Structure 1
């Protein structure tokens, strides 16, 4: 009971600091900025939005709080201990890296860099004379297994949130293919500001744990205090060669493998420090390897979001539309509408007009088998039943997928530059 009271008091004190610090609010603003950009793209490409900024923001904050609470319990139990100075270094390195590419905000990179610097500082005598400086003293005292465990558990949380929200938060796209043809694709995006509550050792009175934390059993301390450490986790990737559910499963599988192996390496490096450098390299290289292999798949495999001789490929479904009520799914192909074969948007429009009150469709499912759906039509509904079709040569906007530093997005936003000459097709860079 006394332990519960101590932890509760420590949690309340840490929560107060979290609420007066700017970092958590910066994370929320970053998430809002990302979702605003996503909705802007949806309006530009499809003349409507597929997601609600308010709903996505509240859902993101809620998932982040729940995930942060669960992760904090795990981190406290295994004894992850990170000093306040190290937390500052992590954020500084992350903010520097984000100037090059937004995806470098991931802590795999900042923690990996800190780990490499730690190994260099403790391995070479050259730094002995400089170890009294703040930054070198902090690097020497870093608990690398704790940092690696932090990254592993955060990626486990990311994998879970990706699995739960990946397809729901995805957005269909028009993308310029390798040969200049505009094809369909999907962009997966999800970011969560996660408030973590970590233990740091203190020389004064603090929380006294009845167990010996695994990763902090060599730390001499008279107690522990709790601090709040806000982080932003998330994913942002695209596909032209996989259906949304298949891409999500692939990414979740490899994120989970990465997390479990990294957590094992963190414990191994705690007991046998000779493996520290290998664990640090794995932290960066395997994560980057997942990104590289995903891009390689996208480059080597043919796009699937294109029309063919069977009919019109369904790229997306508008929420609460007739198509959604009929049970039509992304990735299926419209073969016939009201008994007429359709190969273009004009064919679809004309076939729907055959019966303005009712519509029958023959759909080819994922296995290529026919299924038949039907439904009533009402005035004021989307003229294509709420279907977003794969692009054709008449598409006016497409996405140019160039990874850019954060300042490039800010510059584009401030300048208001959207693309090329209005008289031609416009490319929107993301």
Structure 2
């Protein structure tokens, strides 16, 4: 019955429904932009959630086991703050605001002023804040930073969104946008219900003498980064290492709050400033290095590759340069299409790889294959 009640709380949580609304709105805008830029839909609708369903459930299961096993729970006020800031930050339309640092950080800063608005709250949201509350909440911020880093391991070069625009010199250049949103249905203990205590230490602290229950909380984790100088997978590996270090630092500082309480506040500051430093370093790198997705004198620069397309099967990667198709030199989308049509049964492609070395790939050409083999170019038709 406790599990059924927890599921019921999950489906009445506004974040659950807002997740699908947010994904749909963002996806629709992205498809409209792709049609305007490339003339067709590059990736399917709702692809911002692609690849994160199974990994999100696995991650949620691991986190739920940890939280239930340790007897960690969130008071109602904490849950309301997480919901409120998730909804507020999502109004920006940028998934980069839906990360654990901003949501947990803003909630923690709001709790610092709790004595000033406590009298205005209903009784169900009032809580006697203790050292344990602070340590649990700030540690959760660090844990979900690690969860965000774990989601980055799913980044693939053919699952980020290519974009094209006119650069400062009047030439077409490209970029890749990593934009994903994950739904994590995490199981928490909360002080409403009739569960018996499992172990002597469970839960780890008391809440106004209340009985305990379970709640599935739909936490939203967003990723959004624009990359011009590196491949998305290379950037994700770079960011993954630094987010892991940041998450561990926040957790360690939070837990040492048992010994010296001011370190709890320091953990919040480190999380917020550390995240901003990572964003600043990313912008600096993008500004001070040449773009990977600019036009090439050697041929056609590959900006994007459709997953499960002929080009993907041939091993063509973003950032590479196609110089010849079926023996014909190509420099734009028209020439590429005409070269493909010169042999309707077979295609052979000469490519400069990312190391500047020439390589060849070939494949049978079937009726119904994408007219560009599933490739998106920096410079297309003229």
TM class by shorter chain equals 0.7 to 0.9
Partner of 2:140: 150
State the partner residue of 2:219.
Answer: 231
Name the counterpart of 1:317: 305
Gaps of 5+ in 2: none
Distance 1:168-1:221 versus aligned 2 partners, 3 A rule? farther
> 1:176·1:182 contact (CA, 8 Å) conserved in 2?
yes
Contact 2:179 2:224 in 1 (8 A): yes
Question: Hey, what's the Cα distance between the residues in 1 that align with 2:333 and 2:367?
Answer: 20
Residue 336 (structure 1) aligned with residue 324 (structure 2): yes
Shift, 1:187, TM fit: 0.9
After the TM superposition, which residues 211-226 of structure 1 pair with which residues of structure 2 at under 5 Å, given as runs? Answer: 212=201, 216-217=204-205, 224-226=212-214
Name the counterpart of 1:397: none
SS of 1:275's partner is: helix
Matched with 1:108 is 101
Instruction: Flag the 1:319–1:197 CA change in 2: closer, same or farther, 3 A.
Output: closer
Q: Distance in 2 between matches of 1:376 and 1:98?
A: 46
Give the C-alpha shift of residue 345 in structure 1: 3.1
Q: 1:240: Cα distance to partner?
A: 0.7
The 8 Å contact of residues 28 and 193 in structure 1, kept in 2 or not, is answered as no
Retained in 1: the 8 A contact 2:332–2:379? no
Query: How far apart, in 2, do the equivalents of 1:391 and 1:337 lie?
Result: 16
Change (3 A) 1:263 1:171: same
For residues 46 and 332 of structure 2, the distance between their equivalents in structure 1, rounded to whole angstroms, comes to 35
Question: Do the aligned partners of 1:75 and 1:150 also contact (CA within 8 Å) in 2?
Answer: no
> Tell me, what secondary structure is at the counterpart of 1:313?
strand
Structure-2 change in CA distance of 1:350 and 1:297 (3 Å):
same
Q: Shift of residue 83 of structure 1?
A: 0.5
Which of 49-58 and 108-117 deviates more?
49-58
Name structure 1 gaps, 5 residues minimum. Answer: 1-8, 395-430
- Quote how far apart the aligned CAs of 1:110 are: 3.4
Give the secondary-structure state (helix, strand or coil) at the position aligned to 1:226: strand
* Distance (Å, rounded) in 2 between the aligned partners of 1:135 and 1:272: 32
2:32 is the alignment partner of 1:43: no
1:320/1:295 Cα in 2 relative to 1: closer, same or farther (>3 Å)? same
Residue 75 and residue 37 in structure 1: after superposition, are their counterparts in 2 closer, same or farther (change >3 A)?
A: farther
CA distances 1:32-66 after superposition (whole Å, capped 9, x unpaired): 33233333333333333343336765854444333
Tell me how large the CA RMSD over aligned residues is.
3.1
SS of 2:195 mapped into structure 1: coil
In the alignment, which residue of structure 2 is the partner of 1:19? 11
Post-superposition offset of 1:365: 1.6
CA distance in 2, matches of 1:19, 1:168: 33
Q: 1:370 aligns with which of 352, 358, 364?
A: 358
Other structure's SS at 1:343 match: coil
Q: Deviations over 1:384-412 (max 9, x none)?
A: 33321113695xxxxxxxxxxxxxxxxxx
1:160 equivalent to 2:160? Answer no
Asked whether the 8 Å contact 2:28–2:45 carries over to 1, the reply is yes
Cross-structure match for 2:181: 191
CA–CA distance in structure 2, aligned partners of residues 325 and 65 of structure 1: 29
Q: Does structure 2 conserve the Cα–Cα contact (< 8 Å) formed by 1:187 and 1:236?
A: yes
**Secondary structure of residue in 2 paired with 1:141:** coil
Query: CA shift at 1:184, angstroms?
Result: 0.9
Contact 1:148-1:283 at 8 Å conserved across structures: no
- Work out the CA distance in 2 between the residues paired with 1:304 and 1:80: 46
Structure 1 residues 76 and 317: alpha-carbon distance in aligned structure 2, compared to 1, 3 A threshold: same
CA separation in 1, counterparts of 2:194 and 2:314?
64
